[in-house]
Amino acid sequence: MSLAHSSPARKRRAFMGRRHSAIAPAPTAVVSRPATLQLPDLAPAHDELDRRASVSLEALQSKSDKFREQLRRATVGLIDNAAWSAQARRTSARQRQALVAAGHHSPHRQRSRHPRWTSSR
């Protein structure tokens, strides 16, 4: 393509390139070479997207519901244990034995699992 058929911007770039190459030939040679763009391999990302797209939303919802229920149960257990622990700190050994003997224990358990609350028979 001749400069006569080029756009004004292209003519100016060519002129400036010639001008700079006369002043600083090495840097101009580096700048004037077209840069090659190295793209990453996108195949693994594409494979991962395909894998994720193949999972059913119903299966994901079911897993989410199951984990939510496990979290709820664990939270209830932690709250229950914290309440019984606080109660144990507020009562004497004699009061604890009376509570255990009277059957006053956590509604979430059959028997207390705390070693300080169990009677030694």
Model pTM?
0.42
CB 100 within 8 A of CB 118: yes
- CA dist 48 and 64 (Å) reads 21
Q: What angle do CA 34, 39, 42 make, to 5 degrees?
A: 160
Per residue of the chain (121 residues), what is the pLDDT tens digit?
554 566 888 888 777 777 666 666 666 555 556 667 777 888 888 899 999 899 999 999 999 999 999 999 999 999 999 998 898 888 888 887 887 887 755 554 554 455 555 544 3
- CA dist 84 and 81 (Å) reads 5
Phi-psi region of 11 (alpha: psi -120 to 50; beta: other; left: phi over 0): alpha
What are the residue ranges spanned by the domains of the chain? 66-121
